[in-house]
Amino acid sequence: MTALLPKLLLLLPYLGVAVLTLVISDFLLRIRERSTSSAEFLAGNNAIGLRRGGFLLGTLIGFSGILVGESSGNLTADLIVTAEYAGLLIVMMQIALLVNDALVLPNVANSSAVKGGNSAVAATEVGSMVATGLIAHAAIGGANGGMLPVIAFFALGQLALVFMAWSFSLVHGKAALVKEVEAGNLSAGVIMGAKFWAFGLIIAMAAGGQFTGWAEDLTAFGITAAAGLLFLYIAGWLVDFLIVRWQTLEQMVSTKNVASALAYGGGQVGMAYAVSVLVF
């Protein structure tokens, strides 16, 4: 017990950086929402709470990647590096919000929709923000190549997430998932959010590990992203066929059945996690 005390004391400065990262991230999100008060929370706007919780969770997941790296043996130097990557993470999470707004749900202003109580948009963003945090965690944790590979694999991760959303919408065209999310169909939002979360788990494995060189790492990323996309379709079919047997994905969306969507989404994320652990 006594031996643990010095280690716990050493954690305090890093905890301080983590808290500061959360405070700054939360402040910037409030600016995007044009809301610096707690009025929406007190009014019981679940969409605001869902989005905020997912965003902060994704931010902390990303921040934990900073702590994975080896110590230099100098506390001051380590804290400076931690602060630098924390600043980069804050910027990346804000960019991810912009990507969501412009490319994933292009026909609705996400912040306005969430302020208006659209929980479907919020649920989609939860999945996307957690996926972004997972990718950032993996990229920063393997940042022996410096910040440039982190930025590159973050950007590639965002492109992969957008491509996943587009391809998924095309494959399940009858469900009109994006339109349903924009219209406030929570079951569609849960399914989209779960897809993002599951794909993020796989893409994170592609973005992680020690940087060995651009050609090798980019090739591995592309192969993993393609395999991950294929896995999502197979996993979705298996979950639909074996677990959520009473409804197809299209029926979940058309009947706005959130209960079925939650079961479907949980199965997808669970299978993605299992595969990421087993394969990588």
Q: Which pair of structure tokens corresponds to residue 130?
A: 């957690």
Find the range with the poorest average confidence among 26-30, 38-42, 146-150, 191-195. Answer: 38-42
**150 found inside a domain:** yes
Domain that includes residue 122, residue range: 8-279
Number of domains in the chain: 1
Calpha distance 110→228 (Å, rounded):
27
Q: Is the pLDDT of residue 248 over 90?
A: no
CA–centroid distance for 185 within its chain: 20
* The pLDDT value given to residue 215: 77
**155 found inside a domain:** yes
Q: Is the pLDDT of residue 142 over 70?
A: no
Find the range with the poorest average confidence among 51-65, 76-90, 138-152. Answer: 138-152
- Tell which residue, 94, 7, 83, has the closest CA to residue 59: 94
Calpha distance 197→109 (Å, rounded):
22
Calpha distance 231→235 (Å, rounded):
6
**3 found inside a domain:** no
Q: Is the pLDDT of residue 154 over 80?
A: yes
Neighbours of 76 (CB within 10 A): 9
Calpha distance 192→260 (Å, rounded):
13
Find the range with the poorest average confidence among 24-33, 38-47, 265-274. Answer: 38-47
* The pLDDT value given to residue 232: 78
pLDDT band, very low/low/confident/very high, at 95 (cuts 50, 70, 90)? very high
For residue range 202-211, what is the model confidence (pLDDT) as tens digits?
A: 888 766 666 6
Percent of the chain whose pLDDT exceeds 70: 87
**131 found inside a domain:** yes
Calpha distance 29→55 (Å, rounded):
9
Q: Is the pLDDT of residue 170 over 90?
A: no
Calpha distance 123→46 (Å, rounded):
10
* The pLDDT value given to residue 219: 80
Calpha distance 269→174 (Å, rounded):
23
Q: Is the pLDDT of residue 79 over 80?
A: yes
**208 found inside a domain:** yes
Percent of the chain whose pLDDT exceeds 90: 22
Q: Locate all alpha helices (DSSP H) within the chain, ordered by sequence.
A: 4-32, 39-42, 46-66, 75-99, 110-115, 119-141, 147-171, 177-182, 186-207, 214-238, 249-254, 258-279
Length of the chain: 280
Q: Is the pLDDT of residue 178 over 70?
A: yes
SS3 100: helix
**1 found inside a domain:** no
pLDDT band, very low/low/confident/very high, at 224 (cuts 50, 70, 90)? confident
pLDDT band, very low/low/confident/very high, at 8 (cuts 50, 70, 90)? low
Whole-angstrom CA distances from 197 to 35, 129, 260 are 27, 8, 17
* The pLDDT value given to residue 4: 64
**2 found inside a domain:** no
**79 found inside a domain:** yes
Calpha distance 273→81 (Å, rounded):
30
Q: What is the mean pLDDT of residues 40-60?
A: 87
